[in-house]
């Protein structure tokens, strides 16, 4: 409505885009620790912006991290910021990150990835949508209230990191440490670091978790020639193929007994959420390049990706993997697969069942080889309660700005930050994306559209307002 | 007997070992075509030796070869030699090669691989046993007759190449071309380019063939994230695992219908050959490092390696094969396996049955992916007739020199030269090894024992004699 438009126009469009251009120009790729200086430059720039807006900023020590080489490095700090607090208002903590994925012209960018370039309404640049654009949109939403001399309807806190793309080193420890200080008075945590599922605005209320499994079969003491020994040896690769082949049937159903027992049953209310999603199955077949999915309907496909577990076999280490032919019997092979978990599956329970399953199948092979199954600590699945004020406010804000109902969506991949915030702080967490489904985060030619950037800023401003009404 | 010893002592031991030292010093590694100059040096050295012995030598043009890079290179020549011919005598053609596998101190050699070094009765050096030692032993066997002014009891021809270790480029064409000239008057072809199975001398009467299969499954148009898409995609890797898993049961039995139909039935005479082989099953378990083989008895294990077909899965190309974890759904994966074939299996027939089997299994998967099965032209299996004069003569010669019955053995791996000679020339072919089962051909610390080198030379001389008696 007019109120929002009025608020927003106080930040001129050009200023908003100019600031994003300045931020994108900083090569804050966190992938290479020797370049974390750029990440710190970027964090300082963000801190300065918040200070100019009257925010109080702490550059919190995130500790150290041990690299795979064994070297221990100091981590860039994490921004913990807050604006003036009114005890009568609800307190919203906004999470964002200002580091980016690597980007090089040679990878196939049409424009310089570190020079924000507008083409036909799209703003191309590394970090434009993941996550510098959304972070600036949050700041601009705050600024729009300030510029119109309107009270910000909620107390605002910010937590902004610079290592999201490499796994948020140090962040989870910091959250734990500040649970009873910085997070003590926080009512709501909001994250805008994912994308819509379609062209319709969305609220994200769940992510799947993941456990990664290594199935090692060790046999002879050396690689053998298949001509000399083939037929007399129970080959580790044959054992492994039998084990991997026991995990799934051809419909994608996981064959590990009991593994899906704890999947939350689908309720009628939840099922209805899928009806409204404007996901086009035919278009998606073309995008992915498959003749058909494992499921027939839009709803089934989305549920398979978002709310049901899945198992993917990623590959084999130790076997022959180069082009060409080699007649080797590999002495030790390691199969790798992962299971995407959903509420209320429990990673340790899943890992135990998978190990038991593999050991049981292995015992039927009468093999002289040795089996070892290991699993990496799994990311837990996350699901939010749609009755929380945040979701009600988010839904209203989408209606205010876009005039449509939001799609209630999940992410199939892990976004551990949501689950971590919920678990470590006990607060309500919502993911409120403003990025387009075709923004190409992590890809060449990453962009955010001018439309999403500006309407997204309005959405955030409206969200502050709607949240304050409910509190 | 005395006759042999007398013959042999005419070539002093020291001369024989000195010549082997000179030959080993030539780095005639054929693996790198830019170093084929050394191979030619070695061929010239061998040619000079034969000429000095009164042989007539042709350095036959072997044509050209196209490298994987597309470059076409001239091949080193092949030695075609003969000694004075007596039409009343049988003509024996000896095959050998003077190129070697690569060798570097850094690979773990205890001595300089190109400086023949005697330690405790073993002569260590690259090519000592594969195949420079045996080639010299043949020449010394001829020379022993010359030195004692005894008539060589058979006409001798020689074919010596310099590219055996890389696949005998050009050789098969040359054999075909000279079928009606060089090979026209040849009665027997003998090859000494393999090893005994145990410490007992052996005659080798068969090799398995091989077909190599590539099973490609192509799915989505790009690699997918298993978090985002897992559960909705019929993954190429899952299809591939199902196909590979259908090939074998856990006893090693090939599950492709009809593939073993043409295996020659075991006769009682053949079965008896296995009784005499002094193969120690327990020792072999220790060497290989397995708790048990797929078979329980010595005879069954040897038959599984030599006279029954086998299938080995070598690996997967296109899937994740590095250390660590990666949550990828690979878009295209290629499984690789090979089948070792035995008489009377026919490679094209086997390939057709394997393709039909894979297509049948794939059809049950209801997969949207594309299957493509290709096979490389298979090496045919080879088996000789033990009633041939060569084998009778070989058996007698072993008895003459070693005082024991030879073991009649096969090779599980392909030695295409035997089958090629038999097929292209129609002549009787025998493999008469003098190398020890622990000589480490292709390995670090390759050696031939002084015993095998010298007694092997006597064996060859005795073989000429016994063959002449039978003709």
Helices (H), A26-154: 36-52, 132-147
Asked if A325 is an interface residue toward chain B (Cβ–Cβ < 8 A), one would say yes
- Asked whether residue B346 falls in the same domain as residue B444, the answer is no
- Asked whether residue B159 falls in the same domain as residue B240, the answer is no
State pLDDT tens for residues B288-318: 999 999 999 999 999 999 999 999 999 999 9
The pLDDT assigned to B67 comes to 85
The pLDDT assigned to B281 comes to 94
Measured distance CA(A229)–CA(A224) in Å, rounded: 7
- Asked whether residue B235 falls in the same domain as residue B312, the answer is yes
In a domain, A54, yes or no: yes
Cis upstream peptide for B451 (omega within 30°): no
Range of the domain at B12: 2-207+381-470
In a domain, B74, yes or no: yes
End-of-domain residue from the set A326, A351, A379: A379
End-of-domain residue from the set B338, B356, B375: B375
In a domain, B283, yes or no: no
The pLDDT assigned to B9 comes to 59
Measured distance CA(B242)–CA(B238) in Å, rounded: 6
Asked if B444 is an interface residue toward chain A (Cβ–Cβ < 8 A), one would say no
The pLDDT assigned to B5 comes to 58
Which of residues 334 through 363 in chain B touch A, CB cutoff 8 A?
336, 338, 340
The pLDDT assigned to A149 comes to 87
- Asked whether residue A419 falls in the same domain as residue A453, the answer is yes
End-of-domain residue from the set A351, A379, A407: A379
The pLDDT assigned to B3 comes to 60
- Asked whether residue B397 falls in the same domain as residue B432, the answer is yes
- Asked whether residue B190 falls in the same domain as residue B318, the answer is no
In a domain, A233, yes or no: yes
Which of residues 280 through 299 in chain B touch A, CB cutoff 8 A?
288-295
In a domain, A417, yes or no: yes
Smallest Cβ distance to B365: which of A228, A250, A326? A250
Cα distance from A317 to chain B (closest Cα, Å)?
Answer: 4
- Asked whether residue B15 falls in the same domain as residue B38, the answer is yes
The pLDDT assigned to A67 comes to 85
Among B248, B382, B232, residue whose Cα is nearest residue A284? B232
In a domain, A297, yes or no: no
Flag residues of chain B having pLDDT under 50. Answer: none
Measured distance CA(A338)–CA(B417) in Å, rounded: 47
Q: How many domains does chain B have?
A: 2
Catalytic residues of A: 99, 164
Measured distance CA(A314)–CA(A267) in Å, rounded: 32
In a domain, B277, yes or no: no
Smallest Cβ distance to B289: which of A221, A242, A289? A221
**Contact at CB, B248 and A233, closer than 8 angstroms:** no
- Please name every residue paired with B340 in a beta bridge, in sequence order, or none if there are none: B210, B310
**Contact at CB, B250 and A323, closer than 8 angstroms:** no
Query: Could you read off the pLDDT tens digit of each residue along chain A, which spans 471 residues?
Result: 556 656 666 566 778 999 999 999 999 999 889 999 999 999 999 999 999 999 999 999 999 999 888 899 999 999 999 999 999 999 999 999 999 999 999 888 999 999 999 999 999 999 999 999 999 999 999 999 998 888 999 999 999 999 999 889 999 999 999 999 999 999 999 999 999 999 999 999 999 999 999 999 999 998 999 999 999 999 999 999 999 999 999 999 999 999 999 999 999 999 999 998 999 999 999 989 999 999 999 999 999 999 999 999 999 999 999 988 888 899 999 999 999 999 999 999 999 999 999 999 999 999 999 999 999 867 889 999 999 999 999 999 999 999 999 999 999 988 889 999 999 999 999 999 999 999 988 888 999 999 999 999 999 999 999 999 997
- Asked whether residue A50 falls in the same domain as residue A132, the answer is yes
Question: What is each CA distance from B405 to A263, B206, B274, B277, B391, in whole angstroms?
Answer: 70, 18, 13, 10, 12
**Contact at CB, A252 and B231, closer than 8 angstroms:** yes
In a domain, A312, yes or no: yes
Catalytic residues of B: 99, 164
- Asked whether residue B105 falls in the same domain as residue B41, the answer is yes
Q: Could you tell me the CATH number of the domain that includes residue B370?
A: 3.30.70.360
Asked if A309 is an interface residue toward chain B (Cβ–Cβ < 8 A), one would say yes
Among B168, B232, B240, B218, residue whose Cα is nearest residue B414? B168
DSSP output for A436-461: -TTS-TTSTT-EEEHHHHHHHHHHHH
- Asked whether residue B175 falls in the same domain as residue B224, the answer is no
- Asked whether residue A367 falls in the same domain as residue A386, the answer is no
Q: Could you tell me the CATH number of the domain that includes residue B171?
A: 3.40.630.10
- Asked whether residue A357 falls in the same domain as residue A414, the answer is no
Asked if B329 is an interface residue toward chain A (Cβ–Cβ < 8 A), one would say yes
Cis upstream peptide for A180 (omega within 30°): no
């Amino acid at each position: 409505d007019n109120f929002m438009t009025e608020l927003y126009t106080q930040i001129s469009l050009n200023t908003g885009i100019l600031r994003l251009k300045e931020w994108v120009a900083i090569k804050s790729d966190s992938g290479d620790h020797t370049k974390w200086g750029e990440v710190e430059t970027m964090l300082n720039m963000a801190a300065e912006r918040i200070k100019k807006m009257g925010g109080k900023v702490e550059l919190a020590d995130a500790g150290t991290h041990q690299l795979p080489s064994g070297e221990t490095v100091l981590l860039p700090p994490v921004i913990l910021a807050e604006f003036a607090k009114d005890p009568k208002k609800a307190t919203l903590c906004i999470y964002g990150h200002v580091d980016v994925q690597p980007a090089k012209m040679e990878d196939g960018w049409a424009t310089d990835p570190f020079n924000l370039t507008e083409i036909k309404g799209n703003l191309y640049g590394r970090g434009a949508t993941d996550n510098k654009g959304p972070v600036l949109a949050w700041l601009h939403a705050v600024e729009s209230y300030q510029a119109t001399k309107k009270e910000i309807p909620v107390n605002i806190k910010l937590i902004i990191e610079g290592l999201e793309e490499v796994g948020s080193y140090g962040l989870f420890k910091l959250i734990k440490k500040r649970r009873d200080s910085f997070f003590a008075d926080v009512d709501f945590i909001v994250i805008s670091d994912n994308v819509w599922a379609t062209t319709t605005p969305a609220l994200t209320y769940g992510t799947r978790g993941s456990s990664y499994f290594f199935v090692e079969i060790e046999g002879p003491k050396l690689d053998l020639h298949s001509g000399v020994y083939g037929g007399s040896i129970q080959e580790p690769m044959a054992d492994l193929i039998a084990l991997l082949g026991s995990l799934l049937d051809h419909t994608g159903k996981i064959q590990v007994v009991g593994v899906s027992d704890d999947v939350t049953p689908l309720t009628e209310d939840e099922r209805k959420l899928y009806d409204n999603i404007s996901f086009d199955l035919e278009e998606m077949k073309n995008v992915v390049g498959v003749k058909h999915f494992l499921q027939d309907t839009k709803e089934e496909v989305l549920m398979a990706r978002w709310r049901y577990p899945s198992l993917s076999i990623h590959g084999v280490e130790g076997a022959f993997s180069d082009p060409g032919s080699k007649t080797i019997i590999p002495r030790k092979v390691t199969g790798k697969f992962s299971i995407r978990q959903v509420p209320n599956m429990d990673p340790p329970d899943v890992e135990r069942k998978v190990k038991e399953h593999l050991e049981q199948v292995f015992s039927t092979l009468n093999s002289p080889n040795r089996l070892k199954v290991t699993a990496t600590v799994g990311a837990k699945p996350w699901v939010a309660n749609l009755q929380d004020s945040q979701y009600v406010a988010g839904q209203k804000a989408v209606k205010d700005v876009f005039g449509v109902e939001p799609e209630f969506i999940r992410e199939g991949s892990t976004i551990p930050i949501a689950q971590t915030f919920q678990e470590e702080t006990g607060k309500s967490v919502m993911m409120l994306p403003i990025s387009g489904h075709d923004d190409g985060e992590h890809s060449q030619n990453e962009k955010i559209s001018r439309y999403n950037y500006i309407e997204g800023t309005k959405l955030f401003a409206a969200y502050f307002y709607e949240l304050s009404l409910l509190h």
